[in-house]
A = this chain, B = another copy of it.
């Protein structure tokens, strides 16, 4: 598995409040927004910081207490690595399974047009392995140009 983080996602309770803090308070500029669901910022070369509405995060990852590898549920963040193809998603998830990751969820087609699955590291931190054909999925790949 490449040694790369492409996205850092934080789950937020009130997306509008968080947007105000980062945009008006800290002076950041979003690179992508989708209504009351998500706000994304370029946070480095090939890196995106994403703020994601908690209910959507919960629905995809299961934050419910008792359901995760860590006492109290799944940690309220994900790290993601974007890869170049659907096949590479499956390969990395298989590697994680061999490495002892538990749980590993098989990849599925996502409404945003990509294909991804998750594995948990030893502390329950979820890594999403994603093939993302959209523009943001491409700029984070290792051969994308950086300033």
Q: Quick one: given A10-B125, A26-B99, A123-B10, are A44 and B42 in contact (CB under 8 Å)?
A: no
Of B12, B21, B49, B99, which one neighbours A5 at CB under 8 angstroms? B49
CA distance A49 to B2 in the complex (A): 13
Cβ contact within 8 Å between B14 and A29: no
Interface residues of A in 3-50 (CB under 8 A from B): 3-6, 8, 10-14, 17-18, 21-22, 24-29, 41-47, 49
- Residue A121 lies at the interface, judged by CB distance under 8 Å to chain B: yes
Interface of A is mostly: loop
Looking at chain A, what size class is its interface with the partner chain?
A: 35 or more
CA distance A146 to B145 in the complex (A): 10
CA distance A27 to B13 in the complex (A): 35
- Residue A77 lies at the interface, judged by CB distance under 8 Å to chain B: yes
- Residue A122 lies at the interface, judged by CB distance under 8 Å to chain B: yes
A23 shortest CB reach to chain B, Å: 10
Q: Quick one: given A18-B122, A26-B95, A123-B11, are A3 and B77 in contact (CB under 8 Å)?
A: no
CA distance A7 to B128 in the complex (A): 19
CA distance A6 to B27 in the complex (A): 17
Q: Which residues of A contact B (CB under 8 A)?
A: 1, 3-6, 8, 10-14, 17-18, 21-22, 24-29, 41-47, 49, 70, 72, 75-77, 79, 95-96, 98-101, 121-123, 125, 146
